[in-house]
């Protein structure tokens, strides 16, 4: 009985894995097809990958993806790092410092997620133009940090709640300052959670299309996803292999980031219970 249940579980997991990998297979196979033979062959039929390099090169040059990669790399590194630090500081203040009405402050911070970002696009656009933040890298770093703080604060508050209060009290008795306790004790203890949050928020920033389209216009500031969308517009949606090759370029960095930090990510999902 136990063996049959194990077999069913493994079969279900294999089927789910194949279903998840099917879009990846389709993107890779069709991105490798020459443009003139794409419509004459089945989407599921693999090719000899002769057109992959040409499609990648065309997507990179004609879509001006180089500038988008540079800009998005900046946004995906700086904004999540700032959001994680701010969220950790907020969680530390609420839990360790026992901030008065701490839960109310957490509710105020998390209330920023109540309204969908689409409702804020028009006032955000007008205010960015008014304060000369429109089409600037600083403006995008600012908004990406702001939309990430709520989630990071919520998670770090829950993480720090699992640390014994005696840890903070013992450090105070030893003469450590509040800043030293936060920087030397609490942050090192929360590295897995910080890493998991950073990966999640970096992926969110990397895949953003809406804010990039709304708040930028120049190729030097525009994130990668709007650059990919512009590539589709330039080609009228006819050269599917080129578009898929551009999607492959866009997808690889986030996959590499997850694989490189998989250990921290898995441990961080447990909120430090390891």
pLDDT of 180 strictly over 60:
yes
Contact by Cβ (8 Å): 261, 247: no
pLDDT of 234 strictly over 70:
no
Least confidently predicted of 30-34, 191-195, 219-223: 30-34
Residues sharing a CB contact under 8 Å with residue 133, sequence separation 6 or more, in sequence order: 127, 139, 142, 215
* Angstrom distance (rounded) from CA 136 to CA 71: 10
Comparing CA positions, the residue from 70, 74, 77, 31 lying closest to residue 54 is 31
Comparing CA positions, the residue from 164, 187, 16 lying closest to residue 85 is 187
Q: For residue 34, how many other CB atoms are within 10 A of its CB? A: 15
83-to-9, 15, 86, 135, 150 alpha-carbon distances in Å = 39, 37, 5, 21, 9
* Angstrom distance (rounded) from CA 173 to CA 127: 48
The pLDDT of residue 272: 44
The pLDDT of residue 274: 38
Least confidently predicted of 85-89, 107-111, 175-179, 235-239: 235-239
DSSP string covering 209-252, please? -HHHHHH--STTT--HHHHHHHHHHHHTT--HHHHHHHHHHHHH
What average pLDDT does this structure show over 3-19? Answer: 85
Contact by Cβ (8 Å): 124, 143: yes
């Amino acid at each position: 009985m136990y063996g049959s249940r194990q077999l069913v579980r493994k079969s279900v997991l294999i089927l789910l894995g194949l279903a998840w990998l099917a879009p990846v297979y389709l993107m890779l196979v069709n991105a490798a097809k020459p443009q003139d033979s794409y419509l004459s062959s089945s989407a599921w039929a693999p090719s000899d990958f002769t057109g992959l390099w040409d499609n990648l090169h065309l997507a990179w040059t004609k879509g001006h993806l180089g500038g988008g990669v540079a800009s998005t790399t900046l946004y995906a590194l700086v904004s999540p790092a700032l959001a994680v630090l701010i969220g950790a500081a907020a969680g530390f203040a609420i839990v360790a410092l026992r901030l008065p009405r701490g839960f109310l402050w957490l509710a105020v911070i998390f209330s920023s997620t109540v309204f969908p970002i689409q409702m804020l696009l028009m006032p955000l656009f007008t205010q960015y133009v008014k304060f000369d933040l429109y089409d600037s890298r600083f403006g995008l770093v600012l908004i990406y940090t702001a939309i990430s703080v709520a989630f990071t604060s919520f998670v770090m508050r829950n993480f720090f709640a699992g640390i014994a209060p005696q840890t903070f009290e013992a450090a105070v008795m030893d003469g450590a300052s509040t800043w030293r306790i936060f920087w030397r004790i609490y942050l090192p203890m929360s590295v897995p959670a910080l890493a998991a949050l950073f990966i999640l928020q970096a992926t969110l920033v990397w895949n953003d299309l809406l804010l990039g389209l709304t708040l930028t216009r120049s190729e030097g500031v525009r994130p990668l996803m709007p650059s990919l969308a512009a590539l589709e517009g330039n080609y009228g949606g006819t050269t599917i292999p080129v578009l898929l090759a551009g999607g492959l370029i866009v997808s690889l960095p986030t996959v590499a980031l997850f694989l490189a930090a998989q250990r921290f990510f898995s441990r961080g999902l447990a909120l430090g219970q390891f």
